[in-house]
A and B are shown apart, each in its own frame.
Chain A
């Protein structure tokens, strides 16, 4: 079946602009995770969704970051007033249950100029 998909695959934006990153999880997966992969920080957890609710937002680095999930499926990660330190690859993963293996999407490479 189809895997996790993310769009866009690449995004270049100017400092101060807002961006939206989209994730389509594997059908039937109730748990959805966002991570960030950057040279300086490695792979970091951002936020977790169970259904449409986000019980764990502990990894969001600032209040410029927000995420939502609708219909228990698609999720959008929004970064407002982007900064250069936001440049990274943003990865989405989904799993059947929260403690099971996670399947990762190909990521969105965000470059803030």
Chain B
């Protein structure tokens, strides 16, 4: 079984400032890691994923996350945020083995609010 902890429920930040949303996980098996974003009144969208290979993964809109196996973390970062990044962000994990069926275990979410 897996579990995910998002350490901050809310993160307020000013526009153009850097931000880090923290995510830690626990699992007895190898994992795949994901960040999903939910904009106000919209559905969940995949932001980025780690399946294998390079531990640093990037999204098309400037976010990046680094898989740190020793610290069991997958923190999300952006060097300069925009108003449009205001949303709720969910970290999720699935077991990499076939018996996990790919089901996602989500963290509680972090609400990122970008102020002008």
Contacts and interface: CB of A to CB of B under 8 A. Distances in A.
B83 interface: no
A50 B98 CA distance: 12
A106 B43 contact: yes
Contacts of B17: none
Contact of B108 (A33, A35, A42, A100): A42
Nearest to B36: A104
B63 interface: no
A33 B103 contact: yes
Main secondary structure on chain A at its contact with chain B? strand
B102 A102 contact: yes
Contacts, number: 58
A103 B44 CA distance: 8
Q: Which residue, A42, A43, A95, A106, has most C-beta atoms of chain B within 10 A? A: A43
Contact of B102 (A43, A44, A91, A95): A95
Contact of B43 (A42, A44, A48, A104): A104
Contacts of A44: 106
B45 A98 contact: no
Interface of B: 32, 34, 36, 42-46, 49, 51, 90, 92, 94, 96, 98, 100-109
25 contacts: A31-B101, A31-B102, A33-B103, A35-B104, A43-B92, A43-B109, A45-B104, A45-B105, A48-B101, A48-B102, A56-B103, A91-B44, A93-B44, A95-B102, A99-B100, A100-B102, A101-B46, A101-B49, A102-B46, A104-B36, A104-B43, A104-B44, A104-B45, A105-B43, A107-B43
